[in-house]
Amino acid sequence: MRLVTIRINNTEYTVPEHYTILEAAREAKVNIPTLCHMDLGDLKAVNHVASCRVCMVEVEGRRNLAPSCATKVTDGMTIHTNTPRAVKARRTSVELLLSDHPADCLICEKNRSCDLQKLAADLGVRGNLKYKGAMSTYREDISSKSIHRNLDKCILCRRCETMCNEVQTVGILSAVDRGFETVVSPAFGMPMSETMCTFCGQCVAVCPTAALTEISSLRQVWEAINDPDKFVVVQTAPAVRVALGEEFDMEPGTIVTGKMASALRMMGFDRVFDTDFGADLTIIEEASEFIHRLQHGGRLPILTSCCPAWVKFFEHQFQDLLDIPSTCKSPHEMFGAIAKTYYAEKFNIDPKKMVVVSVMPCLAKKYESARPELTGEGFSNVDYVLTTRELGMMIRESGFNFADLEEGEFDNPLGESTGASVIFGATGGVIEAALRTAYEWLTGETLEQVEFHALRGLEGIREATVKIGDLDVKIGVAHGLGNARKLLEAIRRGEVNYHAIEIMACPGGCVGGGGQPYHHGDAEIIKKRTAAIYREDAGKPKRKSHENLQVMKLYKEFLGEFYGEKAHELLHTHYTAREKI
Amino acid sequence: MSTYRMHLLVCGGTGCQASDSRQLADNLQAQVLMAGMGKEVQVVTTGCFGFCEKGPIVKVLPDNIFYVEVKPADAEEIVSEHVLKGRPVNRLLYVEPGMKERIAEHREMPFYKKQLRIALRNCGFIDPEDINEYISVDGYQALGKVLTEMTPDALLVLMKKSGLRGRGGGGFPTGLKWEAAARNKSDKKYIICNADEGDPGAFMDRSILEGDPHSVLEAMAIAGYATGADCGYIYIRAEYPLAIHRLVIAIGQARQAGLLGENILGTGFSFDIEIKYGAGAFVCGEETALIHSIEGERGEPTNKPPFPAESGLWEKPTCVNNVETFANVPPIILNGPEWFSSIGSEKSKGTKVFALAGKVNNVGLVEVPMGIKLREIIFDIGGGIKDGKKFKSVQTGGPSGGCIPAEHLDTPIDYENLTRIGSMMGSGGMIVLDEDDCMVNVAKFYLEFTCDESCGKCTPCRVGNKRLHEILTRITEGKGTMKDLDNLKELGGIIKDTALCGLGQTSPNPVLSTMKYFWDEYVAHVVDKRCPAGVCTALLSYYVLPDNCIGCTACRRVCPVSCISGEVKKVHEIDQTKCIKCGACQKACKFGAIVRK
């Protein structure tokens, strides 16, 4: 690595020559404000369009100002980050953006978590704007169940495009039109619901303003809770408990399972359950399906099907491979099906009066819960899906002091879980959990070392070979749909062979989901959540799904055989080839 | 061409074709055949002669007689009088405005006298659809020379020595650009010809491609040899069908002749060219945007560096040159770099083609040595201002250029000087403005163009230019304040300083240059609520001069909003609150009784 010497604000620094001015400045602890810039480090998502022109700095010998995010350092470069000229230019860029941005911060979805709002405040933009004029107005897109597009608030940072096109390779969002009319849109201005959008929500996760947010179900959930006729059951996904604390300014990676359970109960949910129960159940079914395919010459590899964005992705993009994903429903859908049958029956509750609310780190789960095959006769498996962010909002609305809440417990019987279900929240976790069970079932031996470290980490595509008895089981893991596409295309071309593959649409897995508290471009937050997931697993007395006694009891009392007829009816689904537009 | 005793060259450029030159050529051909002269006289459809004001043009060789504004019906007389009897058709000869005599030879015409044609050397001289005609004027000799006699390094030295600079706007030394692409190692490199000509009024690239397509193909192959590229693209806007048609023919003929494709002239050097159509986005003339457009991406500029020479088309070293730049290359190689650098000014060598337009008598394409004065172009070549009006300003460099006032008419034109006086060379648009043009309105017009053509990527260009345009609109409507003028200046400066690409960085030029040179006009709009040139309708009023009004009611009858009152034989009056300033009353009045002020 070659080093170069540069001067920033009259201090000399030696930095690698591939650095941008911004990278060098950050290392030197010199703050240059940015807006469109985004670099998610190990998650390999970089937005380098340099479109906002906020990070402009003065470089000696250069005619005009330089965007620090997109300008590489050169030896002897002399940079000034805070001259009146640079500061004025920066401020003007922000003022220009504000001149075409609704000033409704107080009632905006992103109030207090908006990058533009923070930047304007930091730069001291107050009172009247110097430049005023026409404002862009577009029709809001609320066509889907997941993503709310309000382009009046779009500042064309193009981060969403980077996520959609480069990282996820879904290719829905792109800038169209020119000049002041430029707007980020699906082709032909189609509503999101009619596109190939997977609703992974990574566009929402990185949007600096409220141009892209979730379609909220918050009001409907409050109404259900307040309706005395309704029996409202809530379940929370594993990735929620390691991120919810961030909504209350807690350190990322703080595990708040107990406080969350207390808060949910205090808000008035009739039962507070755990999606982890559904995850353990998923492992029983998926491991059974895997072993069945292995022993009966079924098609391999088996692909996990927990991630609804991934499911929609392959329905559009890999129609020829529709028979390889597992037919298992996702954990929260399994949970909903069991809650409205087994649990309702057992406790004599009218399933039509039961409302199942899922708290998820995900936006695609909102879309998934409305899929026709998952909305059964007379009732849906899951009625409403809330994001981690929406739950944070409900807790704040309730006026609880979250940090001071007591450590509560989930209700039983649908509250029991093992460490295997917790790791569903991180990339590689589902397949690791499945291996823990499949290993013991196939070999009849006890698995002592339950952690499969080769399957962990943030490498986009990972693989490992696990010896189960005489068999070398080849496992693949991909997170991020772009990586998933690479893996699937290699399988389609016959270049690689696996027995089982886990795919999660979001970089990092569910911890990096589109419904999580905003990370504001800091990938360390996602790493800390991941670490918390594995910590939670390590602290669990039981770490294999088949050790979940309540799940076993469910089979004994209600479902019968693993992967049997009743299980098929309630816990499995099918896929539909979708148009590739 | 030697087997014929006489040639009738008919302009087949887009402009003359629009005035029926195709029919004219057909008629001439028919008349020649009818006269039994088919073997002696050849009718040739050529590219543009440049003197578009007076098209369609017919030139007779070897007599060198130049006919202007020729109609298809004139074919008979040209053949029967000139071709058969040797008597030039006097009525079709050119008359210089203000002069009486007709001029027969084009060399004698003021429009051509001061021109020096290098890039346009073959336009209006050869049939662009016949490779043999190009070869007969030394075509492809330069390519032959470099492939057989020169190393790529020697070629780079020659190009640098010539001093040729990019003719598309930037003015970057062509030799250095080629050298940068040559130095970057890669398994694949590309040469791109930028034919996405988009400046309003500029059409030199189109004319070269229509009139002399092979010169560009030859130069691209030479550039390929210099840089180590074997693949070329011509990025041309789809609105240039004739140029595309002739390029397709030329590429086909060049391949057939072994001058493009594998193993050119048996030297082992291979180079081929493909045409890519642009959809007419102005910003795609910016090289990184152009490259993205070829790649199938949205035509948006990206940050430089990396420059295309390092990472261009499909991330390979790429050399992008404009059409006119390429057209200069073969003569440089054949005549030597010293010849070329002896023409022009100290830092700007050779010639430049300008598209002369606006309020000037001789509209057309002119090629002049660098260093010539604006005055010579506008008053000698251009024949001065139309209708004897007063010169006010000349706008150069396309929409991103600036407006140059009379005080700089004697500035020698080159890259540095134009930039110094607040404008730029651009691709060579030159629009002459007279006393009837409002400079605030002109600035607004250009800004409207950049607002429309901005790709919308960076904030200063997308929003900043919109705000500039809004301020200018306010000023032309009489709603501007002195604070607006401050803001125009400040915002214009910041846009120049922060925009992402060349388009944005230069877009405030029309505003800033007019503010610099025509400040009083801005102040008149803002303070006096008056448009001195009488253009901004919101600031105008129509009044009846009581002394001149005889009460004929003609004005009252044509007024579309019935705001004129008055009885027959009594003085009329205009209700200013209702008047929409359409000017119909003034036109209807035969007694000069209605004035605009």
Residues A99-124: pLDDT tens digits?
999 999 999 999 999 999 999 999 99
Whether A180 contacts chain B with CB within 8 A: yes
pLDDT at B2 over 60: no
pLDDT at A77 over 80: yes
* pLDDT range class, residue B198, cuts 50, 70, 90: confident
Q: How far is CA B577 from CA A119, B359, B428, B534, B557, in A?
A: 48, 34, 45, 19, 18
Task: Choose the closest CB to A97 out of B452, B459, B505.
Answer: B459
Which residue of chain B has the CA closest to A132?
B467
Spacing of C-alpha B353 from chain mean position:
8
CB contact under 8 A, A179 and B451: yes
Beta pairing, strands B231-237 & B190-195:
parallel
Give the pLDDT confidence score for residue B1 in this predicted structure. Answer: 43
Which residue of chain B has the CA closest to A64?
B497
SS3 string of A314-328? HHHHCHHHCCCECCE
CB contact burial A323-332 (16+ within 10 A = b; e otherwise): ebbbbbbbbb
CATH class entry, domain B439-526: mainly alpha
Please give the backbone phi and psi of residue B566, each rounded to the nearest 5 degrees, phi first. Answer: 140, 145
Tell me the pLDDT of chain B averaged across its residues.
93
Q: B residues 7-66 near A, CB within 8 Å?
A: none
CA distance B7 to B80: 15
Residues A160-190: pLDDT tens digits?
999 999 999 999 999 999 999 999 999 999 9
Mean pLDDT value across residues B584-595: 92
Residues A297-330: pLDDT tens digits?
889 999 999 999 999 999 999 999 999 999 999 9
User: Among residues A365, A366, A528, A544, which one is catalytic?
Assistant: A365
CB contact under 8 A, A49 and B302: yes
Topology of domain B131-340 in CATH is Rossmann fold (3.40.50)
User: Among residues A93, A185, A262, A326, which one is catalytic?
Assistant: A326
Question: At how many degrees (to 10) do helices B519-526 and B465-476 cross?
Answer: 60
Q: Which of the following CATH numbers is that of domain B351-434: 3.10.20.30, 3.10.20.600, 3.30.230.10, 2.170.8.10?
A: 3.10.20.600
Topology of domain A105-126+136-214 in CATH is Alpha-Beta Plaits (3.30.70)
Beta bridge partners of A465: A474
Task: Choose the closest CB to A49 out of B283, B457, B465.
Answer: B457
Whether B451 contacts chain A with CB within 8 A: yes
Calculated CA dihedral for residues A268, A269, A274, A275, nearest 10 degrees? -130
Whether A136 contacts chain B with CB within 8 A: no
CA distance A128 to B488: 17
User: Among residues A36, A69, A108, A306, which one is catalytic?
Assistant: A306
CA distance B250 to B242: 12
Q: Where in chain B do CATH 3.30.70.20 domains reside? A: 541-596
- Catalytic residue check, A569: no
Contacts of A397 (CB under 8 A, 6+ apart): none
CB contact under 8 A, A96 and B305: no
Q: B residues 504-563 near A, CB within 8 Å?
A: 505
DSSP B446-484: HHHHHHHH--S-SHIIIIIHHHHHHHHHHHHTT---HHH
CB contact under 8 A, A179 and B454: yes
Q: Which long-range contacts (CB under 8 A, 24 or more apart) does A538-542 make?
A: A538/A419, A539/A419, A540/A417, A540/A418, A540/A419, A540/A422, A542/A418, A542/A419
Residues B335-370: pLDDT tens digits?
999 999 999 999 999 999 999 999 999 999 999 999
Residues B67-121: pLDDT tens digits?
999 999 999 999 999 999 989 999 999 988 777 788 888 888 888 888 999 999 9
Residues of A in Cβ contact (< 8 Å) with B462: 156, 179-180, 182
Give the pLDDT confidence score for residue A261 in this predicted structure. Answer: 98
Residues of B in Cβ contact (< 8 Å) with A49: 302, 457
Give the pLDDT confidence score for residue A463 in this predicted structure. Answer: 93
Beta bridge partners of A325: A303
Mean pLDDT value across residues B550-558: 92
Contacts of B550 (CB under 8 A, 6+ apart): B569, B591, B593
Amino acid at A105: C
Residues of B in Cβ contact (< 8 Å) with A56: 497-498
CA distance A175 to chain B (A): 8
Selected residue of B449, B498, B507 to mutate for chain A interface (largest A Cβ count, 10 A): B498
- Catalytic residue check, A216: no
CB contact under 8 A, A131 and B453: no
Closest residue by Cα to residue B105 from B97, B115, B113: B113
- Catalytic residue check, A368: yes
Task: Choose the closest CB to B459 out of A52, A88, A133.
Answer: A52
Residues B143-152: pLDDT tens digits?
999 999 999 9
CB contact under 8 A, A64 and B497: yes
Which residue of chain B has the CA closest to A178?
B455
CB contact under 8 A, A51 and B500: yes
Q: Which of the following CATH numbers is that of domain B541-596: 2.70.98.50, 3.30.70.20, 3.30.930.10, 3.40.50.10540?
A: 3.30.70.20
Give the pLDDT confidence score for residue A377 in this predicted structure. Answer: 61
Which tokens belong to B505?
């960085």
Residues of B in Cβ contact (< 8 Å) with A54: 459
Mean pLDDT value across residues A202-220: 97
Three-class secondary structure of residue A102 per DSSP:
coil
pLDDT at B495 over 80: yes
Q: Which of the following CATH numbers is that of domain A218-571: 3.40.50.300, 3.40.50.1780, 3.40.309.10, 3.10.310.10?
A: 3.40.50.1780
Tell me the pLDDT of chain A averaged across its residues.
95
Helices (H), A180-240: 202-206, 218-226
Give the pLDDT confidence score for residue B107 in this predicted structure. Answer: 80
- Catalytic residue check, A365: yes
Residues of B in Cβ contact (< 8 Å) with A88: 494
Closest residue by Cα to residue A579 from A350, A394, A312: A312
The answer regarding whether domain B6-109 maps to CATH 3.40.30.10 reads: yes
Residues A336-380: pLDDT tens digits?
999 999 999 999 999 999 999 999 999 999 999 999 888 866 678
Spacing of C-alpha A170 from chain mean position:
15
Residues of A in Cβ contact (< 8 Å) with B451: 179-180
pLDDT at A158 over 90: yes
- Catalytic residue check, A315: no
CA distance A57 to chain B (A): 10
User: Among residues A510, A528, A536, A547, which one is catalytic?
Assistant: A510
Residues of B in Cβ contact (< 8 Å) with A132: 467
CB contact under 8 A, A89 and B497: yes
Amino acid at A424: F
Q: Where in chain B do CATH 3.40.30.10 domains reside? A: 6-109
* pLDDT range class, residue B235, cuts 50, 70, 90: very high
Whether A389 contacts chain B with CB within 8 A: no
CB contact under 8 A, B456 and A134: no
Spatial contact of B352 and B413, defined as CB atoms under 8 Å apart: yes
Domain positions in chain A: 3-99, 105-126+136-214, 218-571
Mean pLDDT value across residues A232-252: 97
Give the pLDDT confidence score for residue A378 in this predicted structure. Answer: 62
Residues of B in Cβ contact (< 8 Å) with A156: 456-457, 459, 462
CA distance A529 to A424: 12
pLDDT at A480 over 90: yes
The answer regarding whether domain A3-99 maps to CATH 3.30.70.260 reads: no
Whether B270 contacts chain A with CB within 8 A: no
User: Among residues A58, A109, A285, A286, which one is catalytic?
Assistant: A286
Mean pLDDT value across residues B404-432: 92
Give the pLDDT confidence score for residue B566 in this predicted structure. Answer: 85
Whether A175 contacts chain B with CB within 8 A: yes
Whether A70 contacts chain B with CB within 8 A: yes
Which tokens belong to B17?
């074709």
Which residue of chain A has the CA closest to B447?
A179
Mean pLDDT value across residues B583-588: 92
Mean pLDDT value across residues A407-418: 94
User: Among residues A58, A247, A285, A289, which one is catalytic?
Assistant: A289
Residues of A in Cβ contact (< 8 Å) with B463: 96-97, 99-100, 180
ipTM given for this complex:
0.93
CA distance A155 to A52: 8
Which residue of chain B has the CA closest to A35?
B459
Residues of A in Cβ contact (< 8 Å) with B454: 178-180
Higher pLDDT, B57 or B280: B57
